[in-house]
Structure 1
Amino acid sequence: MKIAFVTDSGTGWSVKEAAAHGVYSVPLQISEGNHAYLENEDINVDQVNELMEQKKVIKTSLAPLGRIEELFTKLKDDGYEAVFCVPICKGLSGTMDAMEMVAKQVGLIFYGFDNHVTAVVEGYMVVRAKELYEQGKTIDEIMDILNEICDTTNTLIIPDDLQHMRRGGRLTPLAATLGGFLKIKPILQINKSTKGKVDVKDKVRTMSKALDETLEIMKKEIPALGEQYSITVTHVKAEELGRKFLEQCKEYFPNAHYNFIKLVSVVGVHTGIGSLAIQYFKEL
């Protein structure tokens, strides 16, 4: 069966960059006021961060249905019989449901995997799924392997500006004010146990303590030396802090594979300027 492997810009890739990995992609939407933009087409991560610095309220939404329909129709015309989709997780977006609906409309068999997050692991999974299929693995076998990866995946986020989260409606004004006054730094997590939704893992009093606690969480979840693990440190205009934490990670997990990137906008717009996020998973 001829299967197309599909994702979205939650990977941080443009459509062209996804194609270089042998997969198809559609852009998610980012809006500010009356303006709507296609991620990595009309607007990039630096431009989104500039809007946040201007205290703009930015929202994200799923890829336009028209773009999904356009892609799936072309895939059908090109002889594909099915799509295997690994988009941004259901807990953060309705993209998966939209892809399933459009696939049925155009007559494609639909396979979807919820990675319970987004970003680097989303891109890894869709490319890995394609590789496994080309190696002769069945769909069920591929799903099992992706589930194993998912079981090892965690994303920890440390927002710096609680007032940004208040503006976005993710904290009550009182909680944001008190949090700022008390210098509370929440450590947030997104993973399989949270069903792809942002949840509070812990609360500490300073950014320094938040980073120390994040490292302790990682030590409990990643085997010694980090063998066969991917660790990505990401930031929203906090490069110096991010690089410092990256070096700490390398001391404890010297054998892991590392990435250092800007946090994808679909997460960064919710956490704000100064945020750090750490994503890790076992490469299977």
Structure 2
Amino acid sequence: MKIAFVTDSGTGRSKAYWAEKGIYSLPLQIEVNGHSFDEEETIAIPDVLDNLHAKLPMKTSLPKLGEIEDLFEQLKKEGYDTIFAVPICTGLSSTMNAMEMAARMLEIEFIGVDCYSTAVVQADMILTAKKMWDEGKTMEEIIRELNRIAASCDTILLVDDLNHLKKGGRLTPMAAALGGLLKIKPILHLNMETEGRIDVLDKVRTMNRAQDYVISRLKNLGVDQDYTVIVAHVDAAEAAQKYGEKIKNAIEGVKIRYIDLVSAVSVHTGLGCLAVQAFRPRFS
């Protein structure tokens, strides 16, 4: 069995980054004023932030079907008989289905594992899969470990402006209208229980209360120093830093990594969004 490990730009990383690790990546598409760009290739996070500030309409979509087919056809020519993929979750994108369809057309075995999120946990899972395979682990062991990582993960979003979620169809117009009128801060999340779809955890009146709610949830989930904890933001570095400090003060020993929220998500959340992603990576 010769396996090609494949992911997409939902990881927040470029094709070149993954190529150095022996992993293939396909760019998700970001549409700006009718023009389509390859995430992390022909459009980067600073460009997306500029567009958000300029209030330019943006949409996201799965990688180009032709590019998926071209990659898989090339892999088949190179002797690969199996595609192992961890793309952005099926609750947010049809990328997994498109990959599986392309593999079937080319008569290549396809193994896809849902990360039920995106960003850092997606990157960790595809990297873990490649490392475990290189270590000689069985496919059953790899899939079991990836599912454990996914089950341990929760991604929680605090959105400052609901209009982007409304426009992108991620939130009902009524919920968006009420949120703006009543100044409600919805606490949103996605994980294995929500099947990778964005769901509402709670609604509060202030950002401080929202952050306190998230910290309480992290504690209840058993997050500790063995977890990877990410604080992501959309052009809100100072607020993210303060948020991270609150988490560190509340959960002993926890370490925080700060990142820009990946473009595939920030396009829909808008400016000012703060997100926490917590998961327990592979056991050593």
Partner of residue 266, structure 1: 264
Partner of residue 228, structure 2: 230
* Contact persistence 2:133–2:139 (CA under 8 A): yes
Distance 2:169 2:55 in 1: 13
1:1-284 to structure 2, matched below 5 A, reads 1-223=1-223, 226-284=224-282
Q: What is the identity percentage for the equivalent residue pairs of Structure 1 and Structure 2?
A: 48
Distance 2:204 2:171 in 1: 17
CA shift, 1:153, in A, is: 0.4
Distance 2:93 2:152 in 1: 22
Residues 153-208 of structure 1: CA distance to partner in whole angstroms, max 9, x if unpaired?
00000000123333334445453333223210000001000011000011100111
Q: Is the alpha carbon distance of 1:109 and 1:116 closer, same or farther for their aligned partners in structure 2, counting shifts above 3 Å?
A: same
CA shift, 1:106, in A, is: 2.0
The residue type equivalent to 1:206 in the other structure is: T
Residues 63-85 of structure 1: CA distance to partner in whole angstroms, max 9, x if unpaired?
00111112112211222121100
Instruction: Give the secondary structure class of the aligned counterpart of 1:140.
Output: helix
* Contact persistence 2:170–2:198 (CA under 8 A): no
The residue type equivalent to 2:37 in the other structure is: Y
Unaligned runs of at least 5 residues, structure 2? none
Distance 1:95 1:174 in 2: 29
Distance 1:137 1:167 in 2: 44
The residue type equivalent to 1:45 in the other structure is: I
Residues 53-108 of structure 1: CA distance to partner in whole angstroms, max 9, x if unpaired?
22222111000011111211221122212110000011111110111111122232
Aligned-pair RMSD on alpha carbons? 1.5
Q: Aligned pairs, how many?
A: 282
Q: Please, what TM-score do these two structures have when normalized by structure 2?
A: 0.95
Distance 1:21 1:256 in 2: 28
* Contact persistence 2:28–2:60 (CA under 8 A): yes
* Contact persistence 1:57–1:167 (CA under 8 A): no
The residue type equivalent to 2:259 in the other structure is: I
Q: Is the alpha carbon distance of 1:238 and 1:141 closer, same or farther for their aligned partners in structure 2, counting shifts above 3 Å?
A: same
Q: Please, what TM-score do these two structures have when normalized by structure 1?
A: 0.95
The residue type equivalent to 2:108 in the other structure is: L
